[in-house]
């Protein structure tokens, strides 16, 4: 037996606000493998997330294989659009959805982690963050502001997290992010600059792998996950059609599950993947290898 063993490891999963997406599934897989997990949650969603947890609304999703309910070591407010509190506009800092959370920036998160757990508290960082304010617009109609915000939140935040958390990482640690095939192929309807952000994220993964590897022996990889009809993905507007199309045209003619992505992230975070860095690992039932839509009359036996 060759188990994924993350006992004694601490992970931060940035971008968990419900139990339906990849972030939660990755956190669950890491806990199943023995890690303790802290999460970073977008401040406007934090109260609702905590309430759902406290009222048992997520208990079914929280069930572990041993029958216990997963728990997070700490839940931090995090808006990865901002590196430091000084850079946050006054109207955001003073907004009712932000003002009670203190320093909710990436720098603030780093300081809180050191305060709570010491100088090098982390072994694993997962970037499960993406947002495009104009994602429903084709690229020809996207404003400069919309394009740059998509790249900022969905790609540069990985650079910032890697940089600012690097001093907190133990040697041999791992960073994992989530990308999508739109970073290398045209996916009509996946707009707002998000495809550009995913392309940037994949390129940055390779560069960060070199720089973080040489700086501290850290690994950096990204998972190109197939489409999932999560609450966050509903903002795209065509997610159900994306899931159905991928399912119909993949070598394995089935939709991916969040758990499959979670298990892959746990593997990449473990010593079993000690030789893997700078990689884009596809978890999409093989959809990325296809160059033509499948004829619905096709049968492997035909």
- Is 101 one of the catalytic residues? no
What is the DSSP code string of 140-156? Answer: GG--HHHHHHHHIIIII
CA gap 81, 78 in Å, rounded: 9
**Annotated catalytic residue, options 180, 245, 282, 287:** 180
**Choice among 190, 245, 282, 287 that is catalytic:** 190
Backbone φ and ψ of 187, nearest 5°: -120, 95
Active site residue 98: no
Quick check: 187 and 138 in contact, CB under 8 A?
Answer: no
* Rounded Cα distance, 71 and 288, in Å: 35
Q: DSSP letter at 227?
A: P
Catalytic positions: 180, 190
């Amino acid at each position: 037996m060759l188990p994924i063993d993350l006992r004694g490891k601490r992970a931060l999963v940035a971008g968990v606000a419900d139990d339906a997406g990849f972030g939660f599934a990755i956190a669950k897989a890491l806990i199943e493998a023995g890690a303790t997990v802290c999460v970073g949650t977008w401040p406007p969603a934090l109260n609702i997330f905590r309430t759902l947890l406290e009222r048992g609304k997520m208990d079914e999703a929280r069930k572990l294989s041993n029958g216990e309910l997963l728990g997070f070591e700490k839940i931090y407010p995090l808006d990865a659009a901002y590196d430091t509190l000084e850079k946050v506009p006054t109207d955001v800092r003073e907004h009712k959805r932000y003002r009670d959370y203190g320093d909710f920036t990436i720098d603030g998160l780093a300081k809180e982690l050191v305060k709570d757990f010491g100088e090098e508290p982390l072994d694993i960082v997962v970037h499960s963050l993406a947002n495009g304010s104009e994602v429903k617009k084709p690229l020809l109609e996207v404003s400069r502001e919309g394009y740059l915000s998509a790249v900022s939140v969905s790609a540069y935040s990985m650079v910032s997290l890697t940089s600012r958390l690097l001093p907190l990482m133990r040697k041999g640690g791992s960073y994992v992010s989530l990308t999508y095939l739109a970073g290398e192929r045209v996916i009509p309807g996946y707009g707002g600059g998000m495809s550009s952000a995913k392309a940037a994220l994949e390129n940055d993964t390779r560069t960060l792998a070199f720089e973080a590897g040489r700086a501290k022996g850290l690994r950096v990889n990204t998972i190109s996950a197939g489409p999932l009809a999560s609450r966050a993905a509903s903002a795209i507007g065509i997610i159900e059609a994306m899931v159905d199309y991928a399912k119909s045209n993949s070598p394995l003619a089935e939709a991916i599950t969040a758990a499959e992505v979670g298990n892959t992230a746990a593997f990449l975070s473990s010593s079993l993947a000690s030789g893997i860095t700078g990689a884009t690992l596809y978890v999409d039932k093989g959809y990325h290898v296809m160059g033509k839509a499948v004829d619905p009359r096709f049968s492997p036996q035909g």
